[in-house]
Amino acid sequence: MKFKKLTNAQRSGLNQIPNRRFTLWWSPTINRANVYVGFQVQLDLTGIFMHGKIPTLKISLIQIFRAHLWQKIHESVVMDLCQVFDQELDALEIQTVQKETIHPRKSYKMNSSCADIQLFAQYKWNVSRPSLMADSKDVMDSTTTQKYWIDVQLRWGDYDSHDIERYARAKFLDYTTDNMSIYPSPTGLLIAMDLAYNLYSAYGNWFPGMKPLIRQAMAKIIKANPAFYVLRERIRKGLQLYSSEPTEPYLTSQNYGELFSNQIIWFVDDTNVYRVTIHKTFEGNLTTKPINGAIFIFNPRTGQLFLKIIHTSLPVEEQPRQIIVTRKAMLDPLEVHLLDFPNIVIKGSELMLPFQAIMKVEKFGDLILKATEPQMVLFNLYDDWLKRFSRVILIMRGMHINPDKTKVITFGLH
């Protein structure tokens, strides 16, 4: 590369990559209040605070937390904790576990808080004075409660302040004494997680059996939670600890045969999710009006065509092992959307498969256009992939280029 004649812009672009890697690696040491004395700015959609202007680091962090990953990690941890409590209802004498409805921005709102989970007791719990998760001797006074809350807090630590126990204690004391935070009862627990240093702690009131359970649950969640896996993968890619290319090869004409192996594979095409019609107004301007769209999910082996979105209620044996997206822009959103399905492989496609042409068939087009509510519809395009798959792709290509001629030829063949 260095022997080629490069423009200045290209040359500076090549220099930026190692710079960005270096900045990200040393970011806990560089991006801290003790180094940059100045106004701190919170990074959009995250709880990360930037001290001073470090554009290369900002780019890296925005890439790592793209597609609302910070919020997804928070939601995922809360869901895991709810499942843990659901399994221990009798042991902890819990009547009900209630996942609170929270504001979408709650996970990165740092000046006030609220409960993520509320537990209701079968009778009444004896509750300890506030203490850390690591403390062994809890002081039980005569306090009892029927309501108990859990608040999950995420943070991005730096070299100077990554004492997670101190952070958990400070946040608990802040939020339980300020006027802005709303908790359903005086007794509860604040769980703090440092995403930069992979640390966690908890501070609050404890009832019998709660402390060992939270210790076990948090140790497992921080290792096995799929949202944390996505975060670590993205940090690895940002640091180029392995090739930043996706490990899954894209679908090309060379590996086309894999489509018909005995594992379930889905094509996902989002080309027609957002559609508009264009009208000329009285003044002569062009205006757009959104109309119904659809997402196409197609199984090449069985010929099944799903219209709409992935159904999480699908039984495991009917879930696909692979999902091939027709547009690269769908890779990230789908990866985050499928956090709960870590075994499903997502890969892109180099082949320009014309699934959007299905809209030219009146039966599909009218169904989508005239729908009055979101719905899931299943069609069978063919029964034998060996004879039919290539024909269907050919017909779709024809529909894409010249729908009228294709209809004449297609229906003339029957």
For the stretch 163-222, pLDDT in tens is: 999 999 999 999 999 989 999 999 999 999 999 999 999 999 999 999 999 999 999 999
Q: At a CB cut-off of 8 Å and minimum separation 6, what does 80 contact?
A: 217, 221, 225
pLDDT, position 152: 97
| More confidently predicted of 213 and 394 | 213
154 close to 109: Cβ distance less than 8 angstroms: no
Topology annotation, domain 256-413: Nucleotidyltransferase; domain 5 (3.30.420)
| More confidently predicted of 359 and 64 | 64
Determine the Cα–Cα distance for residues 146 and 127; give it in Å rounded to an integer. 10
First to last CA, the chain: 56
For the chain, which residues make up each domain, given as ranges? 69-239, 256-413
The pLDDT confidence band at residue 313, using thresholds 50, 70 and 90, is very low
Distances in whole angstroms, Cα of residue 74 to Cα of each of 36, 195, 224, 228, 387: 29, 11, 14, 10, 48
Beta carbons within 10 angstroms of residue 375's beta carbon: 11
pLDDT, position 316: 57
Instruction: Provide mean pLDDT across the span 290-296.
Output: 72
Q: Which of 74-83, 115-124, 158-167, 368-377 has the lowest mean pLDDT?
A: 368-377
Q: At a CB cut-off of 8 Å and minimum separation 6, what does 232 contact?
A: none
Q: At a CB cut-off of 8 Å and minimum separation 6, what does 297 contact?
A: 266, 267, 268, 269, 305, 306, 307, 308, 309, 310
86 close to 100: Cβ distance less than 8 angstroms: no
Instruction: Provide mean pLDDT across the span 256-282.
Output: 75
Whether residue 229 has pLDDT greater than 90: no
Sign of CA dihedral 32, 180, 200, 242: negative
Element (H, E) at 348: none
Instruction: Provide mean pLDDT across the span 340-348.
Output: 75
Query: Which of 211, 37, 20, 229 shows the shortest CA–CA distance to 134?
Result: 211
Whether residue 317 has pLDDT greater than 70: no
Sign of CA dihedral 98, 99, 103, 108: positive
pLDDT, position 312: 39
Determine the Cα–Cα distance for residues 410 and 414; give it in Å rounded to an integer. 7
Where b means 16+ CB within 10 Å and e means fewer, 55-74 reads ebbbebbeebbeebbbbbbb
Topology annotation, domain 69-239: tt1808, chain A (3.90.1570)
Query: Which of 193, 228, 205 shows the shortest CA–CA distance to 336?
Result: 228
pLDDT tens track for 7-50: 777 777 666 667 888 889 999 998 887 776 667 889 999 999 99
pLDDT, position 84: 93
Instruction: Provide mean pLDDT across the span 240-264.
Output: 72
Determine the Cα–Cα distance for residues 140 and 161; give it in Å rounded to an integer. 31
Whether residue 362 has pLDDT greater than 50: yes
pLDDT, position 414: 47
115 close to 183: Cβ distance less than 8 angstroms: yes
pLDDT, position 48: 93
Whether residue 334 has pLDDT greater than 50: yes
Q: At a CB cut-off of 8 Å and minimum separation 6, what does 22 contact?
A: none
| More confidently predicted of 316 and 352 | 352
pLDDT, position 38: 67
| More confidently predicted of 105 and 333 | 105
Q: What is the pTM of this model?
A: 0.66
pLDDT tens track for 87-143: 999 999 999 999 998 888 999 999 999 999 999 999 899 999 999 999 888 888 878
The per-residue pLDDT of the chain, averaged, comes to 82
Percent of the chain with pLDDT over 90: 36
pLDDT, position 319: 66
Q: Which of 204-213, 264-273, 387-396 tops mean pLDDT?
A: 204-213
pLDDT, position 17: 66
